[in-house]
Amino acid sequence: MDTHCHLDQEIFSSRLPDILEAARQAGVRRFVVPGVHPGDWQRMAAVARSHTGVLPAFGIHPMHADLVDDASLSRLADLATGAVAIGEIGLDPLYPVPLEIQERAFREQLRLALSLRMPVLVHCRRAFQRTLQILVEETAGRVGGIMHAFSGSVEMAREFIRLGFLISISGVITWNNAVRSVRLARELPLESLVLETDSPDLTPQRFGGQPNQPAYLSEVLAAVARVRGLHPEEVARQTTRTAARILSI
């Protein structure tokens, strides 16, 4: 299962059936599509209705945190009845939206997820301690979720795991300069890991220069299996089972 791929983006629109067929040929049959901007939600819903195995997770990305208000939260609550998670939500100081606005948006979407008893897909970059603090304060461990394309330390990952979150490994693990991703894949419990592409971003090394796509999840799978000394089928079976459990599918 690809736990994070933006299949609703324009880059895929004209060839999405071919992209999905290539993924299925590579053994990937479920695709979690996270929300970024409220303007994307209807397109996401349409893609999910039209294509088997596409699972939406509506939410507002921290880069658009200033769009979180009563109206967008109400709309999000309505759409969430047909989703597997709320996301992607979180913190990222590299975006120009002030962190206080990001934090408020993060908390409000967490509270909505808790009220709906839904897991969350968390975007976190260079704000791991603060993200963890907010998840603890909002009792987000009651619903859990996935730390998307996790780039923190093994020690920090263990804190999120203790709270009830999974750690997602992306195509970064295949890059020549990958260090943290390799350590995460090697040292964390296999049952705490899931896999993603973050298509069309974070393309695996072998396909560098091309837009990422779910078929390339096989590269992530092979890298995780290699660093753990396991057969890829064992890793695929466990990570898919784990993702299905947290997303209740």
All residues at 6 or more sequence positions from 82 whose CB lies less than 8 Å from its CB, including other chains: 45, 48, 56
Q: The domain 10-247 belongs to what CATH superfamily?
A: Metal-dependent hydrolases (3.20.20.140)
Query: Hey, is 249 helix, strand or coil?
Result: coil
Residues in the chain: 249
Closest by CA position to 219, among listed 230, 234, 203: 203
Strand partners, 195: 169
Strand partners, 56: 33
All residues at 6 or more sequence positions from 28 whose CB lies less than 8 Å from its CB, including other chains: 1, 2, 214, 215, 217, 218
- Dump pLDDT digits (tens) for 126-176: 999 999 999 999 999 999 999 999 999 999 999 999 999 999 999 999 999
pLDDT for res 223: 98
Domain ranges of the chain: 10-247
- Write phi, then psi, for 125 (nearest 5 degrees): -140, 120
Does the predicted TM-score (pTM) go above 0.85? yes
Report the chain's mean pLDDT, rounded to a whole number.
Answer: 98
Question: If you average pLDDT over residues 229-242, what whole number do you get?
Answer: 98
